[in-house]
Amino acid sequence: MAGFFAGRTLDGLGRDLRSGAATAPGLLDRALESIDPSLNAFATVDVEGAAAAARTAGEELAAGRDRGPLHGVPVAVKDIIDVAGLPTGMGSAHFAGHVAGRDAACVEALRAAGAVIVGKTTTHEFAYGASGDTAVNGPSRNPHDPSRISGGSSGGSAVAVAAGMVPLAIGTDTGGSVRIPAALCGISGFKPAYGEIPTGGVFPLSTSFDHVGVLAATPADCRTAYRVLGRPAHGGESRLPDGIRVAWIEGTPVAPDVAETVRRLVPGADAVRLDLPELRRIFAAIQDSEACEVHAERVADAPELFQPVTLDRLRRAGETRGWRFVRAARERTRYAAEVADLMRRYEVLASPTVPIVAPEIGRPDCELGPVQPALLSLTCAWNVLGLPALSVPAGTVRGLPAGLQLVTRAGDEDLLFDLAERITA
């Protein structure tokens, strides 16, 4: 049972809002009707606040005051991002009853653009996990099979878009947390270059790697949202060269049918090996240290308030030695140079976003071993290196969605969107 926004684009909604075929309050009603509680996409729905915002947007549009492509559009925001007056729950009992005093920077930008914030989406507890099945308010569920994980940590944001509840959602991506659920739920997800969308008002997971990103049905809609949230504004002129060089990145196990299905979309790509397991170790040493620094007092003072798997993970991560952190930071610099060199030969790096399809909720292992590291194995490298990365739908494998990940140099984001639009057209 697909929600109203399934198959609808921001472009089409914008036309309807301006032609009178739709109104902002009307679209909000469609969003509220489309929310299927059994998928647990939302931790909080802000019926009143959203209604007020939709009314204002409707009046502004009617009066000819046009704030651009998100004006009057229902948007969902991940529940580790502050929205003034709403709970920021972080998926954790630690923040039960915690209400944000002010908007995060990216929420300010959404409001300035006239977007209608429908509510807060379910997050993996403290965004510290890629499965989306660990939260005080329960797992978000994959619309393609509710017994399976949505992926995470921005699981609720992906589910809300994939099930047509909203046309756009905001997430965060520290190791793949926008791209992974986008891929597993069959939508598009984009994390820009490090720092391009400000992280003020976003609860930290690992500040070296935290990115704000966007989730929407198509790469074109991700581009539209990024133009509103990102800095600097991008031109958006298509400049995709005919002879674009794409590398097919290998170096970590991928389920053969996933690899085959996804690679079909980039038929001319040259296979290039990258030491993804080493990049994953660099990621882990830094993320684990930074995450534990954020949570040290909570682990010491109120361990019982964590979900047990989160507590266990934080405690193990807390054992990471300082010199390993320092070594990882040094190695990161080395890989940045290596990949910068590779990107003088290839404009775009491609791979599956996730090497598997969504496993069932509660299963710790998948065909490639433990689920969590498998989920992150193709995405976290691009957080370590801070490069723009886009996941787009790449068809289905065993009836479940697979994603194609495209990566490019900072500043070349439009190239990514152009290529993705051509591939998915």
Active-site residues: which are they?
78, 153, 177
Residue 325 found at the interface with a second copy (CB under 8 A): yes
Task: Give min distance, CB of 330 to a second copy, in A.
Answer: 7
Q: How many CB atoms lie within 10 A of CB 337?
A: 9
Residue 412 found at the interface with a second copy (CB under 8 A): no
| Nearer to a second copy (CB atom), residue 293 or residue 367 | 293
Task: Give min distance, CB of 296 to a second copy, in A.
Answer: 6
Task: Give min distance, CB of 230 to a second copy, in A.
Answer: 26
Q: Give Cα separations from 84 to 31, 45, 101, 301 (angstroms).
A: 21, 14, 5, 28
Task: Give min distance, CB of 383 to a second copy, in A.
Answer: 16
411-415-418-423 Cα dihedral, nearest 10 degrees: -130
Nearest Cα neighbor of 106 from 95, 118, 91, 117 is 117
> Is residue 38 reached through a cis peptide bond, with omega within 30 degrees of 0 on the bond before it?
no
Stretch that binds a second copy, among 215-223, 313-321, 345-353, 406-414 (CB under 8 A): 313-321
Task: Give min distance, CB of 313 to a second copy, in A.
Answer: 13
d(CA 115, CA 107): 9
Assess contact for 385 and 287: CB atoms under 8 A.
no
Residue 333 found at the interface with a second copy (CB under 8 A): no
Residue 285 found at the interface with a second copy (CB under 8 A): yes
Q: Is 301 left (phi over 0), alpha (psi -120 to 50) or beta?
A: alpha
Residue 68 found at the interface with a second copy (CB under 8 A): no
Q: Crossing angle, helix 10-19 and helix 24-34, to 10 degrees? A: 140
Which two three-digit tokens encode residue 231? 């800095």
Nearest Cα neighbor of 73 from 19, 18, 116 is 116
Residue 290 found at the interface with a second copy (CB under 8 A): yes
Stretch that binds a second copy, among 41-49, 161-169, 184-192, 289-297 (CB under 8 A): 289-297
Sign of the CA dihedral 169, 182, 387, 323?
A: positive
Stretch that binds a second copy, among 188-196, 312-320, 359-367, 417-425 (CB under 8 A): 312-320
Residue 334 found at the interface with a second copy (CB under 8 A): no
| Of positions 293, 312, 360, 367, contacts a second copy by CB under 8 A | 293
| Nearer to a second copy (CB atom), residue 242 or residue 297 | 297
- Applying CB under 8 A, which residues contact a second copy? 285-286, 288-293, 296, 318-327, 330
